[in-house]
Amino acid sequence: MTQNIQSTEDLLKKPEVSKLVRNMRAINKKIMVMSGKGGVGKSTVAANLAARLAERGNKVGLLDADIHGPSIPKMFGIEDTRPEVDENGIVPISVTENLVVMSVALLLEDKDAPVIWRGPAKMAAIKQFLEDVSWGKLDYLIVDLPPGTGDEPLSIAQLIEKMEGAVVVTTPQDVALISVRKSIKFAEILKVPVIGIVENMAGIICPHCDKKIDIFSRGGVEKAAADFNVPILGELPMDPKIAEIEDSGKVHTDINEEIPWGKEFAAIVDSVENLKK
């Protein structure tokens, strides 16, 4: 009898599972999209990964964790939309039946106003996005991180108890590859599996002959992948049509697998969908 009472008392002393943990446990797979430096197309990859997974029937959430340079709402044409609040928390913006989005840009009254926050404020905001946003049950949560290995990537990696992995985006330029190696090492230190590397701007498609023309040096991405034993998920060519679609806010409707860029990106989505359960 005494033993039973002791067991009950011990049980009552255990801390309640936090709302953040409950939120994240309702999501099957959490994947962060990162890059070592800016301007390599990381948000393009994150936005299209979320949109294409949703097109395939998955329930997907997309968190724009780039506090200072949020661009995801523009790509989906929702930059003038404001989220509501219900009894469960902040309601993310529904883009399609299967895709919801949250970004600090959706909370700003003036979209031209800069976000001037120090590290603790950014960490608190990211915690709130994970904890107070009513994500619901999802197959995937895609997190678009700012470039580098600073506060935001560190906060995400530490707050989410089980991260399925990271997709690292780079371009073929040597200066980008120096940074991408740091990103891979960062993920290893935090014990986040690296799903693979996406090489963006891997040549340009000639508008006359449809052949790919290399405009940067080649071989650096392959070497980084071999050095760290991670796969290359895809090589995306430069295509002005993609930029036009993003600028018009139609990432979720106007990109298809008929164009070379779309075909290559479909292989990236396949790799993510084929992650072990």
Is residue 59 a known part of a binding site? no
- Chain centroid, CA 37 distance in Å: 15
Is residue 196 a known part of a binding site? no
Question: What range defines the domain where residue 83 resides?
Answer: 18-274
Name 32's bridge partners: 143, 166
What pTM did the predictor assign? 0.90
Is residue 40 a known part of a binding site? yes
Is residue 13 included in any domain, yes or no? no
Min mean pLDDT across 37-46, 124-133, 203-212 is at 203-212
**Segment 38-54 mean pLDDT:** 95
Is residue 11 included in any domain, yes or no? no
**Segment 240-269 mean pLDDT:** 89
**Count of structural domains within the chain:** 1
pLDDT number for residue 275:
85
Can you list the alpha helix ranges (DSSP code H) found in the chain?
2-13, 19-25, 42-55, 72-75, 119-131, 151-159, 174-189, 220-228, 240-247, 251-254, 260-273
CA distance 119 to 142: 22
Is residue 50 included in any domain, yes or no? yes
Is residue 43 a known part of a binding site? yes
pLDDT number for residue 133:
96
Is residue 66 included in any domain, yes or no? yes
Is residue 23 included in any domain, yes or no? yes
Give the H/E segment covering residue 102.
strand 99-103
CA distance 90 to 50: 20
pLDDT number for residue 49:
98
**Segment 53-75 mean pLDDT:** 95
Is residue 86 included in any domain, yes or no? yes
Is residue 112 included in any domain, yes or no? yes
**Segment 48-62 mean pLDDT:** 97
Is residue 262 a known part of a binding site? no
Nearest alpha carbon to residue 234 among 206, 205, 269, 258? 269
Is residue 146 included in any domain, yes or no? yes
pLDDT tens by residue, 88-104:
899 999 999 999 999 99
Residue 107 class from Cβ within 10 Å (0-12 exposed, 13-18 middle, 19+ buried)?
middle
pLDDT band at 17 (very low <50, low <70, confident <90, very high): low
Is 60 exceeded by the pLDDT of residue 16?
no
Is residue 155 a known part of a binding site? no
pLDDT band at 26 (very low <50, low <70, confident <90, very high): very high
pLDDT band at 1 (very low <50, low <70, confident <90, very high): very low
Mean pLDDT (the chain, rounded): 88
Q: Which residue has tokens 């309640």?
A: 16
pLDDT band at 2 (very low <50, low <70, confident <90, very high): very low
Min mean pLDDT across 59-68, 130-139, 243-252 is at 243-252
The CATH number of the domain where 165 resides is what?
Answer: 3.40.50.300
